[in-house]
């Protein structure tokens, strides 16, 4: 289920943050602490129960398709990927509420589509995300995203667990992007050291 920090719980219920904390301390609300700063969090369902609201589980299903380049999109790869996901949802009687796409590298963590999925899950608007392969969601760190969505009560359906061989070219592009990124940082650091040495000599 979606988790809320004290501030968010206060805005959701209309109660003062100190009142929320007091109710947790008294056991009237069930809360826990998470993260390095040990912030208090409360399940949205716990707040709904406290306020007498009926429990409403999210039923929306989001499909997520991604290609790395506009060339792939122009070739129809993105549309075909979406079509396969729609077919999968149809065969499993899933009601699609959101179709989310990205044209970006799988190592890009600032994708608009990915950000939208996270927001949908945090807001309790979806209960399931359907993707074709794990690397469509993320080239690296898939498990972290899976845990994040799970905390918000969202399950991920991966149509093909093994991935597809035809994406080898895309993988090469992603690896080259990683090498280029590290090279830029390395040379940038070396350049900074040279400038520092020259400045100290002056």
CATH number for the domain spanning 84: value is 3.40.50.1390
Mean per-residue pLDDT for 178-197? Answer: 60
Q: Reduced to 3 states, what is the DSSP secondary structure of residue 61?
A: strand
Catalytic residues, which ones?
Answer: 68
pLDDT digits (tens, 9 = 90+) for 67-83: 999 999 999 999 999 99
pLDDT at 187: 67
Tokens in use for 49?
A: 């129960």
Task: Name which of 153-157, 165-169, 180-184 the model is least confident about.
Answer: 165-169
For 135, the domain range is: 61-165
- pLDDT at residue 181 in the model: 57
How many structural domains compose the chain? 2
Is the separation of the CB atoms in 124 and 152 below 8 Å? yes
State pTM to two decimals.
0.60
Whether 25 maps to a domain, the answer reads yes
């Amino acid at each position: 289920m979606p988790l809320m920090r004290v501030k968010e719980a206060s805005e959701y219920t209309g109660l003062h943050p100190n009142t929320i904390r007091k109710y947790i301390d008294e056991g009237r609300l069930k809360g826990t602490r998470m993260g390095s700063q040990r912030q208090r969090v409360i399940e949205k369902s716990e707040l709904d129960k406290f306020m007498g609201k009926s429990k409403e589980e999210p039923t929306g299903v989001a499909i997520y398709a991604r290609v790395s380049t506009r060339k792939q999109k122009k070739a129809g790869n993105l549309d075909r990927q979406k079509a396969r996901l729609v077919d999968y949802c149809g065969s499993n009687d899933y009601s699609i509420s959101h179709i989310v796409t990205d044209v970006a590298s799988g190592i890009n963590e600032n994708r608009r589509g990915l950000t939208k999925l996270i927001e949908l899950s945090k807001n309790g608007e979806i209960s399931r995300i359907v993707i074709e392969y794990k690397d469509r969601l993320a080239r690296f760190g898939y498990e972290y995203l899976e845990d994040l969505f799970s905390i918000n009560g969202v399950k991920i359906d991966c149509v093909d667990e093994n991935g597809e061989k035809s994406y080898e070219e895309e993988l090469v592009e992603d690896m080259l992007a990683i090498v280029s990124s590290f090279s830029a940082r390395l040379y940038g650091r070396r350049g900074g050291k040279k400038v520092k040495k020259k400045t100290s000599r002056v």
